[in-house]
Structure 1
């Protein structure tokens, strides 16, 4: 059975990476979610995709230059579906507290240096341990630096490689860094690649899939999970297939 992950919550149905967006995914019956993480100035994990605030809040500046308290006062509903109430940027801690119904999280880390990677890895581990989510989290990234750091440190949580372009063989990279998940841009999906990855023990998750015909096609190819902006549509589409 192909699983469904809500992309940034339910990006096509509510402002992305906000609590209303995650609640929309839950309302569709989707209990798995993908989200993005950046560090605040005081080293808190914040749920936001971009390194800057412009697109989602309309304000200038970098996420890393503001404290968590400052970021949580901003309204992040500027880009995306209209929403009647302000949608603050949540911390990862807030999300874990507010939505305990989720059964699995793909936490995509937007990271740079090895030093910053270690800060993020430690911060995620602390929250996961505190909320008892060890079996409900995979840490994903396109950053080879972060994945290499996790591998060298024998990181306790599973990791996943996010691959958009496939310029370097993603299967070799996933194996090199000890990943258990391979998160592919749908354009990179070939039946042979999917089957080879699964034969290596990788969970193959595909993003961002919003077209019903593509959802059906990828499910028929046997991908383990789909990441979609439209959880309600995905649930109905795969239900019809079943």
Structure 2
């Protein structure tokens, strides 16, 4: 049975990338989560998917234009209609301190330049050191710049390539950047590619898998982990099929 990662916590059940969403994943018995990181103006790691604030908070402007303290005052529940309680944008520090129960994190870094990559990776390393999470974190990204810098700089944590389009061979790319994870859009996950990636020593994680039939098919195919918006449903389904 593949491992289950809650996508942005439990995105289909609570406002994404908020403490409420991660609590919902934990309540479902899912102790692995995937989440997104952006830097605040004062270079703190904030848990939010978009570079802009509009979709989840209704505010204008970019994440990078606000301090961590300002961002943590915003209400990020707009990503899920009908949620009654305010849900502040959390920092990664908050997330780590709130949930010692989590066994593993996929930290997807939304990053561009080498300078940004250096700041982000240093900040991740400091928090991982502080919370003693060295065996519980993989830093993932679709940014070749970030992955190349991580390899060149001797970054000590595992890394993973996030691949959505597959225009170039994702397995070769993951190997080139020294990755140990390959995070594939479900459309790219074929039996042949899965076998090749696993033979190359890569952990293959597939996103975003919500439909029961697709979930079961990928589980039967032998993927290492599945990322889903509905972790409770995924756990129940896979236990039934086990």
Shorter-chain TM-score range: over 0.9
CA deviation profile, 1:92-115 (whole Å, cap 9, x unmatched): 000001111100000000001000
Residue 168 of structure 1 aligns to a residue whose secondary structure is coil
Alignment correspondent of 1:198:
198
Alignment correspondent of 1:207:
207
Alignment correspondent of 1:48:
48
Contact 1:205 1:224 survives alignment (8 Å) = yes
1:41 positional shift: 0.1
1:82 positional shift: 2.4
Alignment correspondent of 2:188:
188
Residue 206 of structure 2 aligns to a residue whose secondary structure is strand
1:81 positional shift: 4.2
Q: How far apart in 1 are the matches of 2:51 and 2:122? A: 20
Contact 1:13 1:81 survives alignment (8 Å) = no
Matches within 5 A, 1:95-134: 95-134=95-134
Q: How far apart in 2 are the matches of 1:95 and 1:239? A: 28
1:154 positional shift: 1.1
Q: How far apart in 2 are the matches of 1:31 and 1:157? A: 19
Alignment correspondent of 2:158:
158
Q: How far apart in 1 are the matches of 2:236 and 2:82? A: 23
1:23 positional shift: 0.2
How many positions carry a matched residue from both structures? 242
1:83 positional shift: 1.6
Say yes or no: does 1:235 pair with 2:235: yes
Cα 1:234–1:81, aligned 2, differ >3 Å: closer, same or farther? farther
Q: How far apart in 2 are the matches of 1:140 and 1:189? A: 18
1:197 positional shift: 0.3
Query: Gaps spanning 5+ residues in structure 2: where?
Result: none
Q: How far apart in 2 are the matches of 1:152 and 1:58? A: 39
* Cα root mean square deviation, aligned: 0.5
> What TM-score do you get using the length of structure 2 for normalisation?
0.99
> What TM-score do you get using the length of structure 1 for normalisation?
0.99
CA deviation profile, 1:151-178 (whole Å, cap 9, x unmatched): 0011100000000000011001000000
Contact 1:12 1:81 survives alignment (8 Å) = no
Residue 119 of structure 1 aligns to a residue whose secondary structure is helix
Q: How far apart in 1 are the matches of 2:89 and 2:35? A: 12
Say yes or no: does 1:64 pair with 2:64: yes
Runs (4+) off by over 3 Å: none
Contact 1:7 1:34 survives alignment (8 Å) = yes
Q: How far apart in 1 are the matches of 2:116 and 2:79? A: 28
Contact 1:164 1:185 survives alignment (8 Å) = yes
Contact 1:14 1:21 survives alignment (8 Å) = yes
